[in-house]
Amino acid sequence: MAAHLQATVPACDAAARLRAETALEELLTNSIVHGKARQRPLDSVWLAARVSDDALHLRYEDAFAPFDPVARIDEALLRTANPMEQRPPGGLGLLMVFRLADAFRYRHENGRNRIELSFSGRPIVASTGGPARRRSVDLGA
């Protein structure tokens, strides 16, 4: 999917594409693990990408059981209320996707889950952390 994204929108802002690739990896992982894609071919997953209005727009679809990720955001936010060492593992991937994207929309249509995401060219913020420089993305937290 990352190769398809790079081939489809090669002139896309690098920061937007990095955030989009990270979000796509999480969505695909969720499709495989929770959507039972291991039992069905991955050709049930579909991706469209385009650039307009200075933003990268994605449409991710799968043909697995209906699952509304927006309904789970509050649940994920509740997990973050406790200190990290008191949280059960997992359950934050959709929150990460929600925060990486500038726009996030879900609907179930014609037997398919459809997630539409937009990523603007927000800058990647460089920070120093000791002798090596790290790059981090502002998640809007």
Q: What 3 state SS string does 23-87 have? A: HHHHHHHHHHHCCCCCCCCHHHEEEEEEEECCEEEEEEEECCCCCCHHHHHHHHHHHCCCCHHHC
In whole angstroms, what is the distance from residue 50 CA to residue 59 CA? 9
Single pTM value for the model: 0.76
Please give the pLDDT value at position 127.
Answer: 41
> Where do we find the tokens 């799968």?
62
In whole angstroms, what is the distance from residue 13 CA to residue 6 CA? 11
DSSP 87: S
Q: Where does the pLDDT of residue 135 fall: very low under 50, low under 70, confident under 90, or very high at 90 and above?
A: very low
Q: Where does the pLDDT of residue 101 fall: very low under 50, low under 70, confident under 90, or very high at 90 and above?
A: very high
In whole angstroms, what is the distance from residue 85 CA to residue 2 CA? 33
Q: Which domains does the chain have, with CATH numbers?
A: 2-136 (3.30.565.10)
Identify the bridge partners of residue 52 per DSSP, sorted by sequence position.
55
For 96-125, what is the mean pLDDT? 87
Query: Per-residue pLDDT tens for 37-87?
Result: 556 556 678 888 888 878 999 999 998 888 888 888 888 888 888 888 888
Q: Where does the pLDDT of residue 108 fall: very low under 50, low under 70, confident under 90, or very high at 90 and above?
A: very high
Please give the pLDDT value at position 6.
Answer: 81
Tokens representing 135 are 């790059």
